[in-house]
Chain A
Amino acid sequence: MQGVDTKGGAGVEAMRRLSADIRIETIRALAEAGFGHIGGSASIADVLGVLYGGVMRIDPANPGWAERDWLVLSKGHCGPALYAALALKGFFPMDWLKTVNKGGTRLPSHADRRKTPGVDMSTGSLGQGISAAVGIALGNKTKGFDNYTYCIVGDGELNEGQIWEAAQSANTFGLDRFILFVDWNKKQLDGELDYVSPPLDIRGKFESFGFQSQTVKGYDAEAIYTAICRAKEETGKPSVIILDTLKGLGVSFAERESFNHYMTIDEGMAKEGIEEIERRYAAGTYPGGDLL
């Protein structure tokens, strides 16, 4: 069992390193495939690093352990970042990452619970994962378990009406061990959120649906970790943590592109991206470096 002993400090440093490695392995996997959803994978690398770097109660040798913490990646197209985290934690061999998006792979573009050890829900058609996460949290609560259910939704995904149906249910069922992350990276496929469908006050909307809410720097491991600790305080409410970040953050070649939802990625780009991640990590700056 992992993940119950982190108390900040060295733990946060390990989370930062894991986030860097998640970005690196995601770039390698997508470069091997030649293409992929880099933008939204990059912007969730830090929250994944925190969750898998010490927060989540998991056992990579026993991914079906009922009393584990669960994670639903509702923005299922960012499966490659999740696969990097799971491989780095030992859920499956690292060399599986070379098969992302290739025929016969167990690591498809969108997260698939039947194919990948450690993936807790199949997602891809947006808006659905959060309802499943609510059902998972409800089921665990019904069983009397003390585990947590985490869910990551995209900010563009908030366009989907089902998100708000699920938010209502999280309140209805008093799911105080349900922690939702919104990857507020400011962009959806067709462009800026404000151009496509202005999200208005995301935090206020969730508060009006009965959530405890926080907004944090979505690229700051310590801030994310602190927010999760606060979300776990007994409030009787579900929690939302809005991750203020940028699409493509921490991946230099994606940071430069206005359309970075899905990119072709060659070896040269991968090499440059990985070197830049290591440079920023060594310098102790945020993953987004000068961008922030």
Chain B
Amino acid sequence: MSGITKTLDSHPMSKDEMRTAYVNALIRAAREDDKVVSVNCDLSSSTGTVPFANEFPGRSFNVGIAEANGCGVAAGLSAVGFIPFYHSFAVFSSRRICDQVFQSCAYAGLNVKIMGCDAGVSATYNGGTHMSFEDVGVLRSIPEITIVEPSDTVMMGALVPLIKEIYGVVYMRSPRKQIPDVYPAGASFALGKAALLREGADVALIASGMTVVNALAAADMLAADGIGARVVDMFTIKPIDRACVVECAECTGAIVTAENHNIIGGLGSAVAEVLAEERPTPMSRVGIRDSFGEVGTQDYLMEKFGLTPEEIYRKAKEVIKRKKA
């Protein structure tokens, strides 16, 4: 595998919210390319797109609380050559508009970028109805879709121009508020290519989104026990970096995935599929264990659903035991 992507030594809360990093990147993209347009579903302030509408009023369209229609309108805008970025909460950008994403966007071969904010436990006080633990699972089986999940504001800023440049349907899930910084300013990424953050020979921790920083913390805890943990940020969940997954298996013989999503259908499933077909390897999945969300602070929910560094650490120790058995 190519070089290690540098991460910060400590992980303070970001200065900007994720939605701010997002809209700033979208505005930069739109200044360079007049095909970039924004479709909103009455959640502009929540998704953070108001500054885009202020700068480009003629390229920002609000369909109101009509997510399915908004997705179809975005498809139509793409048909005439625009690059629409569609905005809603992750729950609505996936399960509510699944058939529209399938037929009007993907099956039709159009170029629509679908943003799902408040992914997973980051929906906090909106609770179970708004807590997307299934969005990746809902969309991952639709052909030709790219699914990404940035793990901090730096990566968010880097991914927006990349997903604008590729033709096709992209789904991006993300928290909207501040999350810990992972990468130094200026870090660069390639779609479909996982970022290797740390080397280690005993276990590989493959994470995405908000769990990346916890995987790094778990790696520190494992290091204190003399266990070397390889850490990978699998920010492109589809198409998954198969070579990286296989390499993780070959180098460590034990895999733990960590995701802010149901362990069914998301990153853990995607990694398991690759391992089962290419290199069967003991693995364990950290994530929501097939249950619904609920209200609470993010810390409460991370603890409640077992998304903590401690849980990743425990799962790593357990899977290493299975390797040796």
User: Which A residues form the contact surface with B (CB < 8 A)?
Assistant: 66, 70, 72, 112-114, 120-125, 127-140, 142-143, 161-162, 165-166, 168-169, 172-173
Contact = CB atoms under 8 A, between A and B. Distances in A.
B192 interface: no
A16 B103 CA distance: 33
Interface residues of B, number: 32
Contacts of B77: 135-136, 138-139
Contacts of A136: 76-77, 79-80
B79 A135 contact: yes
B75 A135 contact: yes
Interface stretch (B56-64, B172-180, B265-273, B275-283): B56-64
Contact of B66 (A125, A132, A165, A173): A165
Contacts of A131: 68-73, 75-76, 100, 104
A49 B68 CA distance: 31
Contacts of A122: 103-104, 107-109
Nearest to B78: A135
Nearest to B84: A135
Nearest first, the 5 closest Cβ-Cβ pairs linking A and B are A135-B76, A131-B72, A165-B69, A139-B80, A165-B66
B79 A120 contact: yes
A10 B67 CA distance: 46
A131 B108 CA distance: 13
Contacts of B81: 66, 139
Contacts of B62: 172
A225 B79 CA distance: 27
Interface in B183-238: none
A166 B103 contact: no
B82 A139 contact: yes
A113 B109 CA distance: 8
Contact of B73 (A112, A113, A134, A140): A134
B26 interface: no
A166 B72 contact: yes
A133 B84 CA distance: 15
Given A122-B104, A122-B108, A168 B76 contact: no
Interface in B9-53: 37
A66 B80 contact: yes
B307 interface: no
Given A120-B79, A140-B80, A165-B66, A128 B73 contact: no
Contact of B76 (A66, A114, A139): A139
A239 B71 CA distance: 22
A135 B103 contact: no
B85 to A, nearest CB: 13
Contacts of B78: 135
Given A114-B108, A135-B74, A169 B79 contact: no
B310 interface: no
Residue of A112, A139, A161 with highest tally of chain B CB at under 10 A: A139
A159 to B, nearest CB: 14
B102 to A, nearest CB: 8
A153 to B, nearest CB: 13
A135 B104 CA distance: 11
A114 B102 CA distance: 14
B99 interface: yes
Nearest to B62: A172
Given A121-B108, A131-B73, A162-B69, A169 B99 contact: no
A112 B103 CA distance: 10
Nearest to B66: A165
A128 B82 contact: no
A203 to B, nearest CB: 21
A162 B72 contact: yes
17 contacts: A66-B81, A70-B80, A72-B76, A114-B108, A121-B75, A121-B79, A127-B68, A128-B72, A131-B75, A134-B69, A135-B72, A139-B77, A139-B81, A162-B69, A166-B72, A169-B66, A169-B73
Given A122-B104, A142-B59, A165 B68 contact: yes
Nearest to A74: B72
Nearest to A145: B80
Nearest to A72: B76
B79 A113 contact: yes
Contacts of B100: 128, 131, 162
A142 B57 CA distance: 11
A137 B76 CA distance: 8
Given A114-B108, A165-B66, A134 B80 contact: no
Given A122-B107, A135-B74, A169-B66, A128 B99 contact: yes
B69 to A, nearest CB: 3
A132 B109 contact: no
B99 A125 contact: yes
A128 B104 contact: yes
